[in-house]
Amino acid sequence: MKKFINEADYVVDEAMEGFTSCYSNYYEKHPEVNAVVSKKPRKDKVALVIGGGSGHEPMFNGFVGEGLGDAAACGNVFASPDPGTIYETALTVESGRGVLFVYGNYAGDNLNFDMAEELLADEEIEAAHVRVWDDCASAPKERMTDRRGIAGDLFVIKIAGAACDKGMELADVVKVTEAARDNLRSIGVATSPGQIPGLDKPTFEIGDDEMEYGMGIHGERGIERTKMKQADETVEYLYKNIKADMELAGGEEVCVLINGLGSTTVLEMSIVYRKLKELLDADSIKVHDADINSYCTCQEMGGFSISLLKLDDTLKELYDMPCYSPYYAKKGK
């Protein structure tokens, strides 16, 4: 597949150099490791470090900023950052109140972020983590902690960043961030694969007339492969699964994200949201806020995911706090 790159081995290095140069008013690259660091992090607060594999842009480096992450540790394409990268990133933004790591629930990320926590403990720096496992297609409900983290990462980062900027203590930040994670569900559908830079084959194979429900953002197997269906029928299937899994009931309030996986257009995702809003209205579920964008991608993968965050008063207050990065901003309410 055609890509505008130079040497495959330097894709992440060159991308990070270009990204931080372009947004130099907001970010700087860590001098020693692949990490994006806020130029104006607030001091005297819990530091929020996010991260994971590259190739999902703007996740994670695009969600560093006011009310969001203080820094993002970035690995190679679809690969976790190593423990040293995570550790050095945390040291750069830690200011005496501890560090919270937020990342997707993948084996490599879990291992490497845990090791970074141990390195910080050796320096007597308190650290904690919240692993995001919002993909309800990737494991049954009784094995919630085996589920993958996908586009719902964004909602968790938003809540965690607001809690940190509010000045909450680390234990309290962890508590509300876990509450966001536990009240969040996502599910997606893929129509075409992504292509890792430098590799000859795509991440998976699927027929031109096929789609797969529950496909992971690295090409992990989904729960059902079918012939292509119209938007409304697809949304009905996805919503049915999310609603049952999170036990949504009439009168509850949610935030909604329609996330494109790389090549799906805003036009298509707007049609998706139209049907989803109709279904939510029919169930008397109120939409507090909604977003249509491609925030957690898989290169040029075709498809989209739906994420719902169920709100309570605490989560709503934190969600409504302002935030800003060049890729994601909320004015506050």
Q: What CATH code is carried by the domain that includes residue 292? A: 3.30.1180.20
User: In the predicted model, what is the mean pLDDT of residues 253-273?
Assistant: 98
Q: Is 218 a catalytic residue?
A: yes
Question: What pLDDT, on the 0 to 100 scale, is given for residue 40?
Answer: 82
In the predicted structure, residue 332 carries a pLDDT above the cut 80 = no
Question: What is the signed CA dihedral for 129, 147, 239, 289, rounded to 10 degrees?
Answer: 10
Give the rounded distance of the alpha carbon of 299 from its chain centre.
15
d(CA 223, CA 54): 25
d(CA 312, CA 251): 12
| Residue 89 and residue 35 share a domain | yes
Per residue in 195-215, pLDDT (tens digit) is 999 888 898 999 999 999 999
d(CA 81, CA 53): 6
Question: Given 30, 56, 129, 288, which residue is catalytic?
Answer: 56
CATH assignment of the domain containing 52: 3.40.50.10440
Contact (CB, 8 A) for 29 and 36: yes
Q: What is the identity of the amino acid at 263? A: S
Q: Where among 150, 182, 214 does a domain terminate?
A: 182
Per residue in 269-328, pLDDT (tens digit) is 999 999 999 999 999 999 999 999 999 999 999 999 999 999 999 999 999 999 999 999
Per residue in 20-74, pLDDT (tens digit) is 999 999 999 999 999 999 998 788 999 999 999 999 999 999 999 999 999 999 9
Q: Is 30 a catalytic residue?
A: no
Q: Which residues 6+ apart lie within 8 Å of 174 measured at CB?
A: 100, 128, 130
Give the rounded distance of the alpha carbon of 269 from its chain centre.
18
Domain hosting residue 230, numbered range: 184-330
| Residue 171 and residue 36 share a domain | yes
| Residue 253 and residue 231 share a domain | yes
d(CA 242, CA 185): 6
Q: Where among 182, 200, 230 does a domain terminate?
A: 182
